[in-house]
């Protein structure tokens, strides 16, 4: 009589080999999957760093344009201050109105490109960079970005709270808007059109030549350029230094 399958003698060696093969296959699968994930994350981190490098080089160009515009604004503000100090507040002086426009309508704001650096930090890609100094530097750069944004918010707060009210209260938009709004002309061409057709009987500004108001306006604009100039020392120079340092570390990585 044939023995049933259950009654067959189990070969312990064969069973051990089967279990060993099965365990090895599972282990090898885990190893391959971990390696594939590690490789994928490594490539992703390299792509993010490459994109960050492109962003930083672009930010340097934009920041250079921004700082040149900011220095030009400071110069225009001082020309306006000097004109008021020497001539007082004039209602029908076209030159003073144009200087006021240059001093108050030239607000600019620089926003760094932070998308890639935020993704590098949030995705955990830092651990795949393998460079402790670069990892530390990226953290420093993020802090510099935050300082830059905070500083510009401080500048904007002063501009909106103290200078724009002067514009709303004293600047006569009528003559500028004849071309800028109605004819859809550029701001620069609108100013030129006013200069080409001056009329001393027009009230270009709504203020009176009051000594107290004159001192108040001069002091507000002096404070304004002090804040703008201080930004270079407090934040801007260091921000540019950290960008250049990060670029250098990425390129030699």
Per domain, the residue ranges of the chain are: 48-171+206-251
pLDDT in tens, 116-142: 888 777 776 666 666 678 888 888 999
Q: 103: how many CB neighbours lie within 10 A of its CB?
A: 24
Banded pLDDT at 250 (limits 50, 70, 90): confident
* Phi, psi (deg, nearest 5) at residue 3: -80, 145
Does 90 or 26 have the greater pLDDT score? 90
Predicted TM-score (pTM) of this structure: 0.77
Residue 24 pLDDT greater than 80, yes or no: no
Mean pLDDT of the chain: 85
Number of H helices and E strands in the chain, helices first, is 9, 0
Instruction: Give residue 177's Cα distance to chain centre.
Output: 31
pLDDT in tens, 56-82: 999 999 999 999 999 999 999 999 999
Spatial distance between the Cα atoms of 248 and 253, rounded to a whole number of angstroms: 9
Banded pLDDT at 197 (limits 50, 70, 90): confident
In this prediction, residue 22 carries a pLDDT of 65
Q: Is 128 helix (H, G, I), strand (E, B) or coil?
A: helix
Does 203 or 35 have the greater pLDDT score? 203
In this prediction, residue 133 carries a pLDDT of 85
Report yes or no: 225 and 77 within 8 Å, Cβ to Cβ: yes
In this prediction, residue 149 carries a pLDDT of 94
In this prediction, residue 18 carries a pLDDT of 66
Does 250 or 230 have the greater pLDDT score? 230
Spatial distance between the Cα atoms of 130 and 143, rounded to a whole number of angstroms: 21
Token pair for residue 252?
């030699």
pLDDT in tens, 176-188: 888 888 989 888 8
Does 17 or 81 have the greater pLDDT score? 81
pLDDT in tens, 99-111: 999 999 888 889 9
């Amino acid at each position: 009589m044939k023995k049933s399958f259950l009654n067959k003698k189990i070969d312990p060696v064969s069973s051990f080999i089967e279990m060993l093969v099965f365990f090895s296959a599972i282990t090898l699968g885990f190893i391959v999957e971990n390696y594939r994930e590690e490789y994928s994350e490594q490539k992703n981190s390299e792509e993010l760093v490459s994109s960050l490098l492109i962003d930083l080089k672009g930010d340097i160009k934009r920041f250079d344009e921004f700082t040149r515009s900011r220095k030009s604004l400071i110069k225009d503000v001082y020309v306006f201050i000097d004109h008021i100090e020497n001539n007082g507040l004039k209602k029908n002086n076209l030159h003073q109105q144009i200087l006021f426009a240059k001093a108050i309508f030239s607000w600019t704001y620089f926003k760094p490109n932070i998308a890639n650096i935020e993704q590098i930090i949030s995705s955990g890609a830092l651990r795949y960079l393998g460079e402790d100094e670069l990892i530390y530097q990226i953290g420093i750069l993020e802090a510099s970005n935050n300082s830059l944004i905070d500083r510009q918010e401080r500048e904007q707060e002063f501009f909106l709270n103290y200078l724009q009210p002067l514009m709303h209260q004293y600047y006569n938009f009528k003559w500028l808007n004849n071309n800028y709004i109605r004819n859809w002309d550029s701001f620069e061409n609108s100013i030129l059109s006013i200069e080409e057709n001056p009329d001393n009987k027009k009230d270009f500004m709504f203020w009176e030549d009051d000594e107290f108001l004159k001192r108040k306006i001069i002091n507000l604009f002096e404070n304004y350029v002090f804040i703008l100039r201080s930004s270079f020392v407090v934040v801007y120079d260091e921000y540019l230094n950290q960008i250049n340092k990060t670029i250098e570390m990425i390129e030699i990585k």
